[in-house]
Amino acid sequence: MYSHQCTILIVDDDAGNRLYLKFILKNVTANLPEAVNGYEALKLIESGFPLDLVLMDINMPVMSGLKALEAIRKIKPNLPIIAVTAHVATYGKQSLFDYGFNEVIGKPFLSEDILEMVKHFI
């Protein structure tokens, strides 16, 4: 589907959500590391792990997606990060853009929609 290998970090505290995203993205890339909260994602990025894109849930234990985004932007300001959340209405799509997400998609989502977003960034 895509001409190069890329690495997409999936950050979600729900194992089923991570598995579903991996299933959808299996034809995009073989590189799909996971983190179960924002803190794990931040530590991975701080370590210099090469990433092309992050799919980030918002409401997670230990460190939320909003707090992680804020910290990640200080390290990797140009790394594309897509909010993948069931709480678009709670936060408001525009406020999530204003916060620094490159794109926002609500759960549940269609596989075609997430693939189109990913394609845009990689």
Indicate the domain borders of the chain: 8-109
Mean predicted confidence (pLDDT) in 44-61: 95
Helix (H) or strand (E) holding 106: strand 103-106
Write the Ramachandran bin of 92: left for phi over 0, alpha for psi from -120 to 50, otherwise beta.
Answer: left
Mean predicted confidence (pLDDT) in 57-86: 96
Q: Is the pLDDT of residue 1 over 60?
A: no
Residue 45 is predicted with a pLDDT of: 96
Q: Is the pLDDT of residue 21 over 70?
A: yes
When pLDDT is cut at 50, 70 and 90, the band that residue 2 belongs to is very low
Domain 8-109, what architecture?
3-Layer(aba) Sandwich (3.40)
What is the tens place of the pLDDT at every residue in 4-14?
589 999 999 99
Dihedral of CA 44/47/50/54: which sign? Answer: positive
Residue 4 is predicted with a pLDDT of: 58
Q: Is the pLDDT of residue 88 over 90?
A: no
Q: Is the pLDDT of residue 3 over 90?
A: no
Instruction: State the pTM of this model.
Output: 0.92
